[in-house]
Amino acid sequence: MSEFLSMGGYGGYVWSAFAIFIVVLALDALAPLLKRRRVLRELRGRLRRTQKRNEENT
Amino acid sequence: MNPLLLWFHKLGSPPYFYRLAGRLLPWLWALALAGLALGLYGGLFVAPRDYQQGDAFRIIFVHVPCAWMSLFVYFFMAANGFIALVWRIKLSETLAMAAAPIGAAFTFICLATGSIWGKPMWGTWWTWDARLTSELVLLFLYLGVIGLYHAIEDRRQAARAAAFLALIGIVNLPIVHFSVNWWNTLHQGSTVKLFGPSLIDARMLWPLLTMAVATKFLFAASLLSRARVDLLELESGKDWVRQIALAEEPRA
Protein backbone atom coordinates (compact mmCIF):
# COMPACT_ATOMS: atom_id res chain seq x y z
CA MET A 1 0.00 0.00 0.00
CA SER A 2 2.71 2.50 0.97
CA GLU A 3 4.57 1.46 -2.17
CA PHE A 4 1.49 2.37 -4.17
CA LEU A 5 1.15 5.71 -2.41
CA SER A 6 4.81 6.59 -2.96
CA MET A 7 4.42 6.11 -6.75
CA GLY A 8 8.06 5.21 -7.17
CA GLY A 9 9.15 8.43 -5.47
CA TYR A 10 6.79 10.62 -7.50
CA GLY A 11 3.90 10.38 -5.00
CA GLY A 12 3.76 14.10 -4.22
CA TYR A 13 3.59 15.03 -7.89
CA VAL A 14 1.11 12.34 -8.94
CA TRP A 15 -1.30 12.80 -6.03
CA SER A 16 -1.29 16.60 -6.16
CA ALA A 17 -2.08 16.46 -9.91
CA PHE A 18 -5.00 14.08 -9.30
CA ALA A 19 -6.17 16.19 -6.35
CA ILE A 20 -6.24 19.35 -8.49
CA PHE A 21 -8.25 17.48 -11.13
CA ILE A 22 -10.85 16.29 -8.63
CA VAL A 23 -11.11 19.48 -6.55
CA VAL A 24 -11.42 21.86 -9.53
CA LEU A 25 -14.05 19.72 -11.24
CA ALA A 26 -15.97 19.25 -7.97
CA LEU A 27 -16.09 23.04 -7.54
CA ASP A 28 -17.23 23.36 -11.15
CA ALA A 29 -20.09 20.94 -10.45
CA LEU A 30 -21.01 22.70 -7.19
CA ALA A 31 -21.13 26.24 -8.63
CA PRO A 32 -24.46 25.90 -10.52
CA LEU A 33 -26.15 24.31 -7.47
CA LEU A 34 -25.22 27.29 -5.29
CA LYS A 35 -26.21 29.76 -7.99
CA ARG A 36 -29.56 28.03 -8.42
CA ARG A 37 -30.35 28.47 -4.73
CA ARG A 38 -29.38 32.14 -4.87
CA VAL A 39 -31.39 32.88 -8.04
CA LEU A 40 -34.56 31.23 -6.72
CA ARG A 41 -34.20 32.88 -3.29
CA GLU A 42 -33.85 36.32 -4.87
CA LEU A 43 -36.83 35.69 -7.11
CA ARG A 44 -39.00 34.63 -4.17
CA GLY A 45 -37.96 37.81 -2.33
CA ARG A 46 -38.95 39.90 -5.34
CA LEU A 47 -42.28 38.14 -5.62
CA ARG A 48 -43.02 38.70 -1.90
CA ARG A 49 -42.19 42.41 -2.18
CA THR A 50 -44.50 42.96 -5.15
CA GLN A 51 -47.26 41.00 -3.43
CA LYS A 52 -46.92 43.16 -0.32
CA ARG A 53 -46.95 46.35 -2.38
CA ASN A 54 -50.09 45.21 -4.15
CA GLU A 55 -51.83 44.44 -0.86
CA GLU A 56 -50.93 47.86 0.57
CA ASN A 57 -52.27 49.62 -2.49
CA THR A 58 -55.66 47.94 -2.40
CA MET B 1 -42.30 21.83 -41.21
CA ASN B 2 -40.38 18.57 -40.91
CA PRO B 3 -40.37 16.94 -37.46
CA LEU B 4 -36.63 17.41 -36.84
CA LEU B 5 -36.80 21.14 -37.53
CA LEU B 6 -39.89 21.37 -35.37
CA TRP B 7 -38.09 19.63 -32.50
CA PHE B 8 -35.15 22.01 -32.96
CA HIS B 9 -37.48 24.99 -32.57
CA LYS B 10 -39.00 23.42 -29.48
CA LEU B 11 -35.52 22.81 -28.04
CA GLY B 12 -34.85 26.54 -28.31
CA SER B 13 -37.75 27.27 -25.96
CA PRO B 14 -36.32 27.79 -22.43
CA PRO B 15 -39.01 25.91 -20.42
CA TYR B 16 -38.80 22.91 -22.77
CA PHE B 17 -35.01 22.87 -22.64
CA TYR B 18 -35.11 23.24 -18.86
CA ARG B 19 -37.30 20.18 -18.45
CA LEU B 20 -35.41 18.08 -21.02
CA ALA B 21 -32.03 18.94 -19.47
CA GLY B 22 -33.42 18.12 -16.03
CA ARG B 23 -34.37 14.64 -17.23
CA LEU B 24 -30.97 14.05 -18.88
CA LEU B 25 -28.82 15.33 -16.01
CA PRO B 26 -28.93 12.32 -13.62
CA TRP B 27 -27.86 10.02 -16.49
CA LEU B 28 -25.06 12.33 -17.58
CA TRP B 29 -23.68 12.63 -14.03
CA ALA B 30 -23.90 8.86 -13.54
CA LEU B 31 -22.08 8.13 -16.81
CA ALA B 32 -19.45 10.79 -16.04
CA LEU B 33 -18.75 9.47 -12.53
CA ALA B 34 -18.70 5.82 -13.64
CA GLY B 35 -16.33 6.69 -16.48
CA LEU B 36 -14.06 8.70 -14.19
CA ALA B 37 -13.95 5.89 -11.65
CA LEU B 38 -13.09 3.34 -14.33
CA GLY B 39 -10.53 5.60 -16.01
CA LEU B 40 -8.79 6.53 -12.76
CA TYR B 41 -8.73 2.88 -11.70
CA GLY B 42 -7.18 1.90 -15.03
CA GLY B 43 -4.69 4.75 -14.92
CA LEU B 44 -3.58 4.16 -11.35
CA PHE B 45 -3.74 0.35 -11.03
CA VAL B 46 -3.83 -1.33 -14.44
CA ALA B 47 -1.49 0.75 -16.60
CA PRO B 48 2.12 -0.40 -16.23
CA ARG B 49 4.89 1.93 -15.10
CA ASP B 50 6.52 3.89 -17.94
CA TYR B 51 10.02 2.63 -18.68
CA GLN B 52 11.49 6.15 -18.70
CA GLN B 53 9.19 8.24 -16.52
CA GLY B 54 8.33 5.69 -13.85
CA ASP B 55 5.01 6.42 -12.13
CA ALA B 56 5.13 10.17 -12.82
CA PHE B 57 3.70 9.46 -16.28
CA ARG B 58 0.35 8.63 -14.60
CA ILE B 59 -0.29 12.38 -14.51
CA ILE B 60 -1.14 12.13 -18.23
CA PHE B 61 -4.43 10.40 -17.29
CA VAL B 62 -5.72 13.73 -15.99
CA HIS B 63 -3.52 16.09 -18.00
CA VAL B 64 -4.22 14.86 -21.53
CA PRO B 65 -8.04 14.50 -21.27
CA CYS B 66 -8.22 18.01 -19.80
CA ALA B 67 -6.00 19.36 -22.59
CA TRP B 68 -8.32 17.77 -25.18
CA MET B 69 -11.33 19.21 -23.36
CA SER B 70 -9.80 22.69 -23.24
CA LEU B 71 -9.87 22.72 -27.07
CA PHE B 72 -13.16 20.84 -27.42
CA VAL B 73 -15.04 23.15 -25.05
CA TYR B 74 -13.61 26.24 -26.74
CA PHE B 75 -14.81 24.97 -30.11
CA PHE B 76 -18.24 24.26 -28.63
CA MET B 77 -18.37 27.75 -27.10
CA ALA B 78 -17.30 29.48 -30.34
CA ALA B 79 -19.75 27.42 -32.44
CA ASN B 80 -22.62 28.38 -30.14
CA GLY B 81 -21.38 31.96 -30.16
CA PHE B 82 -21.55 31.90 -33.95
CA ILE B 83 -25.12 30.57 -33.90
CA ALA B 84 -26.04 33.20 -31.30
CA LEU B 85 -24.60 36.01 -33.42
CA VAL B 86 -26.09 34.88 -36.73
CA TRP B 87 -29.52 33.54 -35.72
CA ARG B 88 -29.95 35.31 -32.36
CA ILE B 89 -30.98 32.11 -30.61
CA LYS B 90 -31.20 32.74 -26.88
CA LEU B 91 -30.37 29.15 -25.96
CA SER B 92 -27.11 29.31 -27.94
CA GLU B 93 -26.07 32.45 -26.07
CA THR B 94 -26.76 30.66 -22.81
CA LEU B 95 -24.88 27.52 -23.83
CA ALA B 96 -21.86 29.49 -25.06
CA MET B 97 -21.64 31.47 -21.83
CA ALA B 98 -22.24 28.40 -19.66
CA ALA B 99 -19.38 26.59 -21.44
CA ALA B 100 -16.80 29.30 -20.70
CA PRO B 101 -16.17 28.59 -16.99
CA ILE B 102 -16.05 24.83 -17.61
CA GLY B 103 -13.48 25.31 -20.38
CA ALA B 104 -11.48 27.60 -18.12
CA ALA B 105 -11.52 24.91 -15.41
CA PHE B 106 -10.23 22.25 -17.83
CA THR B 107 -7.55 24.61 -19.16
CA PHE B 108 -6.45 25.46 -15.64
CA ILE B 109 -6.20 21.76 -14.71
CA CYS B 110 -4.24 21.10 -17.91
CA LEU B 111 -1.72 23.84 -17.12
CA ALA B 112 -1.42 22.99 -13.42
CA THR B 113 -0.99 19.24 -13.88
CA GLY B 114 1.39 19.79 -16.81
CA SER B 115 3.47 22.02 -14.59
CA ILE B 116 3.49 19.37 -11.85
CA TRP B 117 4.62 16.77 -14.39
CA GLY B 118 7.22 19.16 -15.83
CA LYS B 119 9.05 19.68 -12.55
CA PRO B 120 10.35 16.10 -12.13
CA MET B 121 10.55 15.32 -15.88
CA TRP B 122 11.89 18.52 -17.43
CA GLY B 123 13.38 20.00 -14.27
CA THR B 124 11.21 23.12 -14.43
CA TRP B 125 7.67 24.12 -13.49
CA TRP B 126 7.28 26.37 -16.50
CA THR B 127 8.97 27.26 -19.75
CA TRP B 128 7.89 29.60 -22.55
CA ASP B 129 7.47 26.74 -24.97
CA ALA B 130 5.03 27.18 -27.89
CA ARG B 131 2.53 24.60 -26.59
CA LEU B 132 2.58 25.91 -23.02
CA THR B 133 2.36 29.55 -24.07
CA SER B 134 -0.53 29.01 -26.51
CA GLU B 135 -2.42 26.99 -23.87
CA LEU B 136 -1.91 29.86 -21.41
CA VAL B 137 -3.29 32.26 -24.05
CA LEU B 138 -6.30 29.90 -24.28
CA LEU B 139 -6.88 30.29 -20.53
CA PHE B 140 -6.71 34.09 -20.91
CA LEU B 141 -9.22 33.91 -23.78
CA TYR B 142 -11.63 31.98 -21.56
CA LEU B 143 -11.13 34.50 -18.76
CA GLY B 144 -11.62 37.35 -21.24
CA VAL B 145 -14.92 35.87 -22.43
CA ILE B 146 -16.12 35.40 -18.83
CA GLY B 147 -14.96 38.89 -17.84
CA LEU B 148 -16.58 40.61 -20.82
CA TYR B 149 -19.83 38.74 -20.21
CA HIS B 150 -19.96 40.00 -16.64
CA ALA B 151 -18.83 43.55 -17.47
CA ILE B 152 -21.95 44.43 -19.48
CA GLU B 153 -25.24 45.03 -17.70
CA ASP B 154 -27.69 43.72 -20.32
CA ARG B 155 -27.38 39.91 -20.31
CA ARG B 156 -28.15 39.39 -23.98
CA GLN B 157 -25.90 42.19 -25.22
CA ALA B 158 -23.18 40.88 -22.91
CA ALA B 159 -23.55 37.37 -24.34
CA ARG B 160 -23.28 38.63 -27.90
CA ALA B 161 -20.19 40.72 -27.18
CA ALA B 162 -18.51 37.81 -25.39
CA ALA B 163 -19.53 35.43 -28.20
CA PHE B 164 -17.79 37.75 -30.66
CA LEU B 165 -14.60 37.64 -28.59
CA ALA B 166 -14.87 33.84 -28.42
CA LEU B 167 -15.14 33.71 -32.22
CA ILE B 168 -12.03 35.82 -32.72
CA GLY B 169 -10.14 33.68 -30.23
CA ILE B 170 -10.81 30.53 -32.28
CA VAL B 171 -7.67 31.41 -34.27
CA ASN B 172 -5.73 30.16 -31.23
CA LEU B 173 -7.10 26.58 -31.47
CA PRO B 174 -4.97 25.43 -34.46
CA ILE B 175 -1.99 27.18 -32.89
CA VAL B 176 -2.37 25.13 -29.70
CA HIS B 177 -2.97 21.93 -31.64
CA PHE B 178 -0.16 22.23 -34.20
CA SER B 179 2.35 24.07 -31.97
CA VAL B 180 4.24 20.82 -31.35
CA ASN B 181 4.66 20.32 -35.12
CA TRP B 182 5.24 23.91 -36.20
CA TRP B 183 7.91 24.76 -33.65
CA ASN B 184 10.69 22.77 -32.12
CA THR B 185 9.12 22.58 -28.69
CA LEU B 186 10.07 20.96 -25.42
CA HIS B 187 6.53 19.62 -25.18
CA GLN B 188 6.28 16.23 -26.87
CA GLY B 189 4.19 15.60 -30.00
CA SER B 190 0.99 13.55 -30.16
CA THR B 191 1.25 9.96 -28.98
CA VAL B 192 -2.41 9.12 -29.48
CA LYS B 193 -3.35 9.57 -33.11
CA LEU B 194 -6.79 9.77 -34.65
CA PHE B 195 -5.40 8.58 -37.98
CA GLY B 196 -2.87 5.77 -37.85
CA PRO B 197 -1.63 3.62 -34.99
CA SER B 198 -1.08 5.21 -31.57
CA LEU B 199 2.40 5.01 -30.08
CA ILE B 200 1.21 3.80 -26.69
CA ASP B 201 0.69 0.48 -24.94
CA ALA B 202 -2.93 -0.74 -24.98
CA ARG B 203 -2.99 -0.97 -21.16
CA MET B 204 -2.20 2.75 -21.05
CA LEU B 205 -4.46 3.68 -23.95
CA TRP B 206 -7.81 2.40 -22.71
CA PRO B 207 -7.75 4.29 -19.39
CA LEU B 208 -6.76 7.43 -21.28
CA LEU B 209 -9.61 7.06 -23.77
CA THR B 210 -12.02 6.23 -20.94
CA MET B 211 -11.03 9.46 -19.20
CA ALA B 212 -11.51 11.33 -22.49
CA VAL B 213 -15.08 10.00 -22.80
CA ALA B 214 -15.82 10.57 -19.09
CA THR B 215 -14.72 14.21 -19.28
CA LYS B 216 -17.07 14.68 -22.26
CA PHE B 217 -19.97 13.47 -20.12
CA LEU B 218 -18.77 15.63 -17.23
CA PHE B 219 -18.75 18.64 -19.53
CA ALA B 220 -22.25 17.83 -20.80
CA ALA B 221 -23.56 17.46 -17.24
CA SER B 222 -21.95 20.65 -15.97
CA LEU B 223 -23.03 22.53 -19.10
CA LEU B 224 -26.68 21.54 -18.80
CA SER B 225 -26.85 22.25 -15.09
CA ARG B 226 -25.26 25.69 -15.65
CA ALA B 227 -27.51 26.44 -18.63
CA ARG B 228 -30.60 25.56 -16.59
CA VAL B 229 -29.69 28.01 -13.82
CA ASP B 230 -28.79 30.71 -16.34
CA LEU B 231 -32.17 30.28 -18.03
CA LEU B 232 -33.91 30.64 -14.65
CA GLU B 233 -32.01 33.87 -14.08
CA LEU B 234 -32.57 35.17 -17.62
CA GLU B 235 -36.29 34.37 -17.60
CA SER B 236 -36.96 35.25 -13.95
CA GLY B 237 -39.86 37.50 -14.96
CA LYS B 238 -41.67 34.69 -16.74
CA ASP B 239 -44.43 32.58 -15.28
CA TRP B 240 -42.76 29.16 -15.67
CA VAL B 241 -39.77 30.32 -13.57
CA ARG B 242 -42.09 31.82 -10.93
CA GLN B 243 -43.83 28.47 -10.58
CA ILE B 244 -40.49 26.70 -10.05
CA ALA B 245 -39.40 29.27 -7.47
CA LEU B 246 -42.62 28.94 -5.50
CA ALA B 247 -42.72 25.15 -5.77
CA GLU B 248 -39.23 24.88 -4.27
CA GLU B 249 -39.84 27.25 -1.39
CA PRO B 250 -38.19 25.86 1.75
CA ARG B 251 -40.64 25.21 4.56
CA ALA B 252 -39.88 27.74 7.30
pLDDT tens profile A1-58: 788 888 888 988 999 999 999 999 999 999 999 999 999 999 999 988 988 998 888 7
Contacts of B222 in chain A (CB under 8 A): 28-29, 32
Read off the CATH number of the domain in which B161 is found: 1.20.120
From A8, A17, A36, residue closest to B113, measured CB to CB: A17
Q: Using the beta-carbon criterion (under 8 Å), do A25 and B59 form an inter-chain contact?
A: no
Residue B8 counted as domain residue: no
Residue B212 counted as domain residue: yes
Q: How far is CA A35 from CA A39, B76, B149, B171, B227, in A?
A: 6, 23, 16, 32, 11
Q: Using the beta-carbon criterion (under 8 Å), do A43 and B218 form an inter-chain contact?
A: no
Q: Using the beta-carbon criterion (under 8 Å), do A17 and B117 form an inter-chain contact?
A: yes
pLDDT at residue number B210: 96
Give the residue ranges of chain B where pLDDT is below 50.
none
pLDDT tens for each residue of B168-213? 999 999 999 999 888 888 898 888 877 777 788 888 899 999 999 9
Contacts of B40 in chain A (CB under 8 A): 18
Closest-CA residue of chain B to A1 = B45
* Residue type, position A8, single letter: G
Task: State whether residue B201 sits within 8 Å of chain A by CB.
Answer: no
Domain of residue B146 covers: 24-234
- Check if the beta carbon of residue B228 is closer than 8 Å to that of residue A32: yes
Residue A10 C-alpha, separation from nearest chain B C-alpha, in angstroms: 6
pLDDT at residue number B251: 62
ipTM for the predicted complex comes to: 0.90
Q: Using the beta-carbon criterion (under 8 Å), do A32 and B225 form an inter-chain contact?
A: yes
pLDDT at residue number B133: 95
Residue B163: CB partners within 8 Å, gap ≥ 6? B80, B81, B82, B84, B85, B93, B96, B97
Question: Which chain A residues have any C-beta within 8 angstroms of a chain B C-beta?
Answer: 7-10, 13-14, 16-18, 20-21, 24-25, 27-29, 31-33, 35-36, 39-40, 42-44, 46-47
From B56, B66, B226, residue closest to A14, measured CB to CB: B56
SS3 annotation, chain A: CHHHHHHHHCHHHHHHHHHHHHHHHHHHHHHHHHHHHHHHHHHHHHHHHHHHHHHHHC
pLDDT tens for each residue of B50-63? 888 888 999 999 99
Q: Using the beta-carbon criterion (under 8 Å), do B116 and A44 form an inter-chain contact?
A: no
Residue B211 counted as domain residue: yes
Q: How far is CA B10 from CA A22, B17, B18, B91, B234, in A?
A: 36, 8, 11, 11, 18
Report how many domains make up chain B.
Answer: 1
- Check if the beta carbon of residue B245 is closer than 8 Å to that of residue B235: no
For residue B182, how far is the Cα from the chain centroid?
25
Residue B241 counted as domain residue: no
What is the 8-class DSSP label of residue B237?
Answer: T
